[in-house]
Amino acid sequence: MPAIADFLRRNESRTLEFKQDLSSPERVLKAIVAFANTTGGTLVVGITDERQAIGLANAATEEERLANLIANGIEPAFSPDFQVVTERGRDFLVVRVPRFPGMFYVRQEGAEQGVYLRHGSTNRRATPEQRAELQRQAQAGTFDSQVCVPATLADFDQEAARRVFEAAGHELTTAKMETLHLLERSGDTWLPTNAAIILFGTAAARARCFPDARVQAARFAGTTKAEFLDQLEPENRGVSIMAALDEVPRFVRRNTRTASRITGETLRRQDIPEYSAVALREVLVNALAHADYSRHGMTIKVAVYSNRIEVENPGGWPLGLSEEDFRNGVSRARNPVIAGVLHKLTIMENWGSGFERIETDAREHGYPLPQWEDKGTVLRAKLLPHPELRIPVGEEVAVTPDVTANVTANVTENFSANERQQWFMQQIARGVNVRPNALSERFGVTERTAKRDIAALQDAEKIVFVGSTKTGRYILLTKDE
């Protein structure tokens, strides 16, 4: 048991909460319910919100009182661990709440309104989808392993599944489909599970049963979603889960930059992608494996900004799993059937080893580690660019971006493109017949300033104007031109 001083060094979090006393029993019960439903946690009574260790006048009495509160106020019944800790002459009540399988709720509020989950250092009422997930876990079941009720065997594209498995060196028989829980027997009939339709359903079946089980990706002009430059699919319809494994990395490559450096005694050029391909793959696979496909109106999203990539999937961390667990290699898949298929296809490697691969790649190639943010209904992973390609706010950009056309602008050490020039070359790379007046309007500068920016690009042999004055256009000069 950590000392009280150790608790005081930490802030309240997903697994730690302080209470001065038990004067607000309903708040205490909500915290204990939230711990039990999420990842477990520790409640320390005798510490103020300002983290002042004031202790309790009679800790033994408070322990008995809290035990009675829990017994009478929480359903179903469970018993956390109580311990009175004395430090510097003051007594504290430390309550350790394990993560229990089941859906716990505050009895007075009922099974619909009284279910709470821990989000950061707050306790939030569970949504209907989260309550359903807790109930499935209590029954040792998962959403992806359930039979897809509206679907028939014809909705499961078995040939597509077989092709994918054969490409990975595996034969996919009906018996193996049953072993992988893609098919379930019902009398003399085979029925596809939710995982089978999500991964290998026909287009019509996926649109009917799981219209939101898809991945959308977009490239935005700046650091917000105000203006997009490129989309993975027309009208950003998105692609299927299996297609996303190839399509999303390809989309990111065409919408991000690559720097070059001369290394070693051989003077060979080394290319540095803006973002770690290893981290992107692991974050994407994690999103596909842990998305809550029972939710409606929420898709998996990949947003490429000028200074970061964000990958969002419906549902926060799987119940019972925290970011700390993930970083430590603890594995708990929300969708074990989908995760099992990805593992069989070697798309998802050893269970729990994803962060280790991210960390190794970051250490060897100098990339920042991704950051995760649990928004309750959404888990967001943020990837930051390599330090050599990071764009400081308000500063000039030393490497020309490669946006939508995968064009290298041959940026040299003695030339830095400012934000306006950066944007101008992006438009050219996209095939836009852009002129000085567009740059002037976009950034609110005079046309003289715009022309001066463009002239500097021409002088540096980054762009050239071809054709007549009226019908000609600017083009990017590549290294071979």
Of 53-57, 193-197, 199-203, 259-263, least confident by mean pLDDT is 259-263
Domains of the chain: 4-138 (3.30.950.30), 143-209 (no CATH), 215-388 (3.30.565.60), 414-476 (1.10.10.10)
Q: What is the pLDDT of residues 328-379, one digit of tens each?
A: 766 677 888 999 999 899 898 755 678 889 999 999 999 999 999 888 789 9
- What pLDDT digit, counting tens, does each position of 81-133 carry? 898 999 889 999 999 998 877 799 999 999 999 999 998 889 999 999 889 88
Per-residue pLDDT of 15-61, as tens digits, reads: 899 999 999 999 999 999 999 998 888 999 999 988 899 999 999 89
Output the 3-class SS for the chain.
Answer: CCCHHHHHCCCCECCEEEECCCCCHHHHHHHHHHHHHCCCEEEEECECCCCCECCECCHHHHHHHHHHHHHHHEECCCCCEEEEEEECCEEEEEEEECCCCCCCEEHHHHHHHCCEEEECCEEEECCHHHHHHHHHHHCCCCHHHCECCCCCHHHECHHHHHHHHHHCCCCCCHHHHHHCCCEEEECCEEEEEHHHHHHHECHHHHHHHCCCCCEEEEEECCCCCCCEEEECCHHHCCECHHHHHHHHHHHHHHCCCEEEEEECCCCEEEEEECCCHHHHHHHHHHHHHHCCCCCCCCCEEEEECCCCEEEEEEECCCCCCCHHHHHCCCCCCCCHHHHHHHHHCCCCCCCCCHHHHHHHHHHHHCCCCCEEEECCCEEEEEECCCHHHCCCCCCCECCCCCCCCCCCCCCCCCCCECHHHHHHHHHHHCCCCCCHHHHHHHHCCCHHHHHHHHHHHHHCCCEEEECCCCCCEEEECCCCC
